[in-house]
Structure 1
Amino acid sequence: MAAELPIPIFTSLDKAFPDVETAAAQGVRFNAVVEEYQKRFGHKPSYIARAPGRVNLIGEHIDYVLFGCFPAAIERDILIACGPSVPGSGTSTPSAHPPGGVKAENLDPKYKPQSFVPMLKSANGPSAAEEADAASNVHAETAWHLDIDKRELRWESYVKAGYYGVLNRFFASTSEHPAPADLLVTGSVPSGSGLSSSAAMVVASTLAFMAVNNKLDGVTKGQLVEMAMENEKRVGVNSGGLDQAASVICTPHSAIFVDFFPRLSAEPIPLPTPRTIPRAVFVCANSLVVSDKVVSAKIHYNLRVVETLVAARVLALRLGQSLGPTERPRLREVFSRWLGSPELESSPEKVKQGLERFLPEIEKLRPAPEGRKAGELGVTMKEMVEWSGLSEEQFHQVYLSWVDVEAEYFQLYKRTKHVITEAIRVLEFRAVCLAAQAAPDPLPESTLAQLGALMNASHESCATLCESSCPEVDRLAALARASGAYGCRITGAGWGGCTVSLVAEDKVEEFIAKVKEGYEPYRALEGEKLREVIFATKPSSGAFVLKLDP
C-alpha cells in the first residue's frame, strides 16, 4: 500500500523528480534557497523539505466524514531549507538558540522573521492553551507547549504546528531535547487559493523538524499524513486528511483514490488523459477571492464538520442504530453499520452500490415543512438538540465544546445529501479512470466527457447542497465550461479559491485567453502575473526530503 511506504529521502534532484527537465528547472530554485539560507544564517542547510500543494479532482467536504476522495499533487510546492543552528555563525549567538529554539525566516518579505522556543509543561499543571487543546481532541499529553494563537492567522503558526507534532511524537517521554534549528521557507502555492498551501506548509514543517532531529527513519507516509492532520488542528482547522494525504502520498502521472475507512489507504490511479484523442490536462484558475479556513472556520469549514457530525447521529437514531450519550459517529460509520456486511467495505464497486441504496434514507433528515418558511431545509439549534436525543448540556459537550460555530439554521439534510452523492461521484470517477486503463488505444473523447460531467455535477452539489462556493467561483466555473472545458468544479475548502477544469491539451492557450477575457479580475493581467492565477498542471510527486552534502 502507498501509505505504508517510507518517506522518500533523496541526495539528488534527478532522483526526486520524474524527468530531467523538471529536475533541472527545480535545481535552480533549490540552489537559490540554499544560497539565501547561507547568507542569512551563516551556514549551509542540512536538508530541504518539500511538500506540494494539491488539486482535488473530485470529492469535496467528504474526507472528514471518512469517505474517499480523488486528489492529485501539483507541481507548485512549499520548500523549507533547514538545519541545526550553529552558535556564533552569521547573526546567531550562543544565546540565540536555547534547546529546541527555532529561528524561522520566509523569502517573501511580507512575512517577518520569527523566533520561538518550545516550553516544557509546567509542574503546576497544564496551561490554559493546553486545556483548550485537550477540549478540541488534540493530543494534550505532550510535555511541550508552543504558543499558537488560533484567533489570528500568522505564517509561523503553520511552522509551529508541524513542530508541535514532532515534539509530541518524539520528545514527550524521553529526556532527549530537540535540536535548535534554523529554517528558511519559500513557496509557490498561492495562499488562500484552495490548492492547500496550509497543508503543504504543515507537512513541510513536520518533515523539516523530523529531519533536523534525525527522526525520519521508520516513519511511513501514512504516519506522516496522520501527524500532519493532527498538527493542522493546532491552527484551528478540523481537517479530514485529504490535503495531507495528497501532499504526502501522490506520485507523478497519477492521482490517488484516498480512503479513510476503516483506516487510511491510498491507491494510485493513472489518469486517462495521455491516451485520449484529444489529450487533455487540468487547468487551475484562481478566483482571487481569498479563502482561509482558519479565519472563517466558525461559519464555513468547521460549521460543515459539526453539521455532518450531528446529521450522522440523528440519521443513526432514525435508522434504529444504538448510540451512547458521548458517541460521535461520522456518516461513513453510520453507512457502514447500515450495510451490515463488513466485507462490502473491501470493494469500492460494492460500496458504490450500497451508497445508491442508502440514498433514499437521507430523506429521514428532511424537516417537516410545517412551521418553517417555504424552502427552508435547515433546523434551529433547539431542533437540532431535540433531534440528537441528548440534553442541551450533553449536546454542547459532545458537539460544541471543542469547536466554535455560528449559524441560524443548521443544514443537516443538505450536507448529508451532498456527502452521499459526492461519494458516489468519486467512485464513478475512479471507475472511469480504471476502465480507461484497460481500454484499447486510442481512448474516445467520450471518456473525457464522462469525467467532465462528474466534475460539473460535483460543482453544482458544492454550490447548492454543501454551499461552499461563492458567486465569483460560480462565474469562473460557468465561464470555463463556455470556454471549452469538458468539466469544471471548485477545488479545495471553498468560499473562494480555485476551480479545476479538464481541458483539451491543444486548446489550453485558447482556453486561458477566453477565460482571461471573460473574467474581469484577469483582464489587466499579463505574462507571469497571469500565469500565477491560471495555469495547466500535471500530477506531481509527493513530499520528500533532500539531504544536502555537509
Structure 2
Amino acid sequence: MAAELPIPIFTTLNDALGDLQTAAVQASRWNDVAEEFEKRFGKKPAYIARAPGRVNLIGEHIDYVLFGCLPAAVEQDILMACGPSSQASGSPGSVTAQNLNPKYTPKTFVPILKDATMPLTTEQKEAEGSVHPESWYLDIDKRELRWESYVKAGYYGVLNRFFPPSSSERPVPIDLLVTGSVPAGSGLSSSAAMVVASTLSFLAVNNKLGNLTKGQLVEMAMENERRVGVNSGGMDQAASVISTPSSALYITFFPFLHAEPILLPVLRTNPRAVFVCANSLVVSDKAVGAKTHYNLRVVETLVGARILARHLNVPLQATERPTLRQVLGRWLGYKEVKGQPTELDTDKLKAGLEKVLPELEKLRPAGRGDNEELGLTMEEMIRESGLDEAVFNEVYLSWVEVEATHFQIYKRAKHVFEESLRVIEFRAACLRAADASRGGDLPESVLRELGGLMDASHVSACKFCENSCPEVDELVRIAKEAGAYGSRLTGAGWGGCTVSLVAEDKVDAFIERLAATYPAYKDLEGEALKQVIFATKPSSGACVLKLE
C-alpha cells in the first residue's frame, strides 16, 4: 500500500526527480537554492526537501466529507534547503527562515516549551488562541496570515510529536531557505506543499525522517495545516506526498487513508491528450476567506449529515459529528470488525450513492423552487438538526468560525453525493481504458467521456457547491470554445486555476486562444504567460535530497 511506504530520501538529483529529462529541466532550481543557501548562511545545506503542488482532476470539496477524489501531483513544487544553524549561540530549536522571493521578508523565531520557566507575554497568550493547546508554542496568528506561518505550521507537528517535555532531547537550531514554483492562491495547493516541505525539513535536520511512513506524514501535514485555520480534508497533502509519475491517485479516507495509483489513459488515446492548467489570477487563499468559504462548506456538510441522518432514520448520539460518508455507510448497513468500520467496495459504494440521491430531496426546504432561497437560517438549521441550541453550538460551531445568513444544506449535500459518483465513474473509465489499451491505441471517445465528467463537475461547483467565480467560469467557457474535451475549476475555488483536458497536438493553439481571449492575460507574454498557462504531467511525490 502506497501510504505505508517510507518517505524517500535520495542522494542524487536524478533519483529525486525520477528521470533524466525532468532532472535536466529542474536541476538549475535545485542548484540555485543550494548555492544561495551557502551564500546567506555560510555553509552548504544538509538537505533539500521537495513537495509538489497538485491538480485535482475531479472530486472537489468531498475529501473532508471522507469521499474519494482523484488528484495528481504537478511538476511545480516547493523546495526548502535546510541545515543545522551555523550560529553557535542559536537557541534550542530556533529558526532563521528566508525566501528567494524578495517580497517575503526574512523571519527568525524560537519555539517555547510551555512548561519552561520563561512566561508567555500577553501578546503571545492572546495569539495562542489561534493554535492548538500543546506542549510547544509558536505564534501563528490566523487573523493575519503570513508566509512563515506555513513554515511554523510544519514545525509544530515535529515539535509536539518528537520533543515532548518529558524528553531531554531538544530540537536543533535550523537555517532554512525557501523557493517555489507553485503560484500562491492558484488552487494548485501551494499551502499544502509549503506545509509538507516544512514538515520534511524539520524532520530531516532533527534526524527523524526514518520514524514516519508516507501515510503518517500525510496525517501529520493535515493536522499541521489546520494550525493556519483551514480544516483540510487531506487530499492536498496526500497528493503531494504519495503521488507517482503517469498516474492520478484515487484517494479514499474512510475508514482509513488509502491511495490507489490510477494510470491515466490520455497518453494512449488517439489523439493523445494532456491536462492544461490555467490560472485565473484571482488569488484564493483558503485560510484568508475560510469563515465564509472553505470552513463554511465544512460546517454545512457536517450539519447536512445530521439532518440527512434524521430523514433516513439513522440513529446518532447528540454529541456525534459524522460526515455524509459515514451517514451513508450506516444507512447502507456496513459491517464493523472489532468495533472498526469496514469500507464498502467501489461497486457497492457506487450503488449506494445512486440509491441515496433521490433521498436528498428531503433536504430541500418544503415548497421552495430552484429560483427561491434554498438555504436555512441559523434558527431553521438548528431546528432541523434536532439538537438544542447549546448542544448544536458545542458540536458544530465551537471549534470553527463561520459566517453566513443562510446555510445551504441541500445544495452542499447534492454536490457531495453527485461529485462522489463522478469520481467513481472517472476512475472506472480510466481502469477500463487501461485494460483495453493492451490492444493498441484507445479511441477518442475515452477523452470525451472523461471530459464530460469534468464539465459536469464544474456545473455542480457553480450551482451547488458555489465555489467558483466569474473569472473561473469565463476561463472554462473559453477553454471549451478552444476545443477542450472538458474543463473545470481545480482546488478549493473562489479563484485559482482551471484544469482542461486537451488534445496534445492542439495544446499550442489552445494556449494561444486563452491568451488572446481571457482579459487578465492581455499583457502577458513569454515566461510570464508560461507561468499562468501550462501543460503538466503527473509528478512524483514529496522527497528529501540528502547533500551531506
| TM-score normalized with structure 1 length | 0.95
**Of 407-416 and 27-36, the range deviating more from structure 2:** 27-36
3-state SS, counterpart of residue 231 of structure 2: coil
3-state SS, counterpart of residue 345 of structure 1: coil
Q: How many residues align?
A: 535
Distance 2:362 2:532 in 1: 43
Which aligned pairs between 1:415-434 and structure 2 lie closer than 5 A? 415-434=412-431
Q: Is the 8 A contact 2:60 2:69 kept in 1?
A: yes
3-state SS, counterpart of residue 324 of structure 1: coil
Q: Is the 8 A contact 2:130 2:140 kept in 1?
A: no
Distance 2:116 2:529 in 1: 55
Q: CA deviation at 1:401?
A: 1.0
Corresponding residue number in structure 1 for 2:55: 55
Q: Is the 8 A contact 2:127 2:141 kept in 1?
A: no
Which aligned pairs between 1:443-462 and structure 2 lie closer than 5 A? 443-462=442-461
| 1:378-411 deviation per Cα after TM superposition (whole angstroms, max 9, x unaligned) | 0000001111111111111111111111111100
Corresponding residue number in structure 1 for 2:174: 181
Structure 1 residue 401 and structure 2 residue 393: aligned?
A: no
Distance 2:97 2:464 in 1: 41
Letter paired with 1:399:
Y
Distance 1:37 1:342 in 2: 54
Q: How high is the sequence identity, in percent, across the aligned residues?
A: 68
3-state SS, counterpart of residue 322 of structure 1: coil
Which aligned pairs between 1:359-378 and structure 2 lie closer than 5 A? 359-369=357-367, 375-378=372-375
Distance 2:538 2:183 in 1: 17
Distance 2:98 2:199 in 1: 16
Letter paired with 2:472:
V
- Does the C-alpha gap of structure 1 residues 326 and 485 become closer, same or farther in structure 2, counting only changes over 3 Å? same
Letter paired with 1:167:
L
Letter paired with 1:402:
W
Letter paired with 2:68:
G
Q: Is the 8 A contact 2:130 2:227 kept in 1?
A: no
Distance 2:93 2:371 in 1: 59
Structure 1 residue 167 and structure 2 residue 165: aligned?
A: no
Gaps of 5+ in 1: 88-93
3-state SS, counterpart of residue 209 of structure 2: coil
Distance 1:537 1:404 in 2: 36
Q: Is the 8 A contact 2:334 2:344 kept in 1?
A: no
Corresponding residue number in structure 1 for 2:509: 510
**Equivalent residue in structure 1 for 2:386, among 353, 365, 389:** 389
Q: CA deviation at 1:230?
A: 0.2
| 1:113-154 deviation per Cα after TM superposition (whole angstroms, max 9, x unaligned) | 000000011479995555554xxxx5x3x3211000100110
Distance 2:76 2:46 in 1: 22
Q: CA deviation at 1:369?
A: 2.5
| 1:314-353 deviation per Cα after TM superposition (whole angstroms, max 9, x unaligned) | 1112211221221100010000001103498342122111
Letter paired with 1:515:
L
Q: CA deviation at 1:483?
A: 0.1
Distance 1:165 1:341 in 2: 34
Distance 1:109 1:404 in 2: 33
Distance 1:196 1:59 in 2: 15
| TM-score normalized with structure 2 length | 0.95
Q: CA deviation at 1:176?
A: 1.0
Corresponding residue number in structure 1 for 2:22: 22
Corresponding residue number in structure 2 for 1:90: none
Q: CA deviation at 1:430?
A: 0.2
Distance 1:131 1:317 in 2: 34
Corresponding residue number in structure 1 for 2:219: 226
Letter paired with 1:361:
E
Q: CA deviation at 1:25?
A: 2.1
Q: Is the 8 A contact 2:130 2:141 kept in 1?
A: no
Distance 2:384 2:34 in 1: 58
| 1:492-531 deviation per Cα after TM superposition (whole angstroms, max 9, x unaligned) | 0000000000000010000001111111111211110100
Which aligned pairs between 1:227-246 and structure 2 lie closer than 5 A? 227-246=220-239
| 1:521-550 deviation per Cα after TM superposition (whole angstroms, max 9, x unaligned) | 11211110100000000000000000003x
Distance 2:116 2:268 in 1: 63
Corresponding residue number in structure 2 for 1:91: none
Which aligned pairs between 1:99-498 and structure 2 lie closer than 5 A? 99-122=92-115, 127=125, 129-130=127-128, 133=131, 138=132, 140=133, 142-172=134-164, 173-342=166-335, 345-369=343-367, 375-439=372-436, 440-498=439-497
3-state SS, counterpart of residue 327 of structure 1: coil
Distance 1:498 1:209 in 2: 30
Distance 2:149 2:413 in 1: 32
Distance 1:394 1:351 in 2: 32
Corresponding residue number in structure 1 for 2:541: 542
| 1:412-471 deviation per Cα after TM superposition (whole angstroms, max 9, x unaligned) | 000000000000000000000000000031100000000000000000001110000000
Distance 1:24 1:507 in 2: 25
3-state SS, counterpart of residue 103 of structure 1: strand
Q: CA deviation at 1:276?
A: 0.4
3-state SS, counterpart of residue 336 of structure 1: helix
Gaps of 5+ in 2: 337-341
Distance 1:246 1:164 in 2: 21
Q: CA deviation at 1:363?
A: 1.3
Distance 2:370 2:200 in 1: 52
3-state SS, counterpart of residue 263 of structure 1: coil
Distance 1:49 1:132 in 2: 27
Letter paired with 2:291:
K
3-state SS, counterpart of residue 190 of structure 1: coil
Q: CA deviation at 1:234?
A: 0.4
3-state SS, counterpart of residue 399 of structure 2: coil
3-state SS, counterpart of residue 419 of structure 2: helix
| 1:340-383 deviation per Cα after TM superposition (whole angstroms, max 9, x unaligned) | 0349834212211111011111112111137x995111000000
3-state SS, counterpart of residue 313 of structure 2: coil
Cα RMSD, aligned residues only: 1.6
Q: Is the 8 A contact 2:269 2:443 kept in 1?
A: yes
Distance 1:353 1:174 in 2: 51
Q: CA deviation at 1:24?
A: 2.1
3-state SS, counterpart of residue 262 of structure 2: strand
Q: CA deviation at 1:175?
A: 2.0
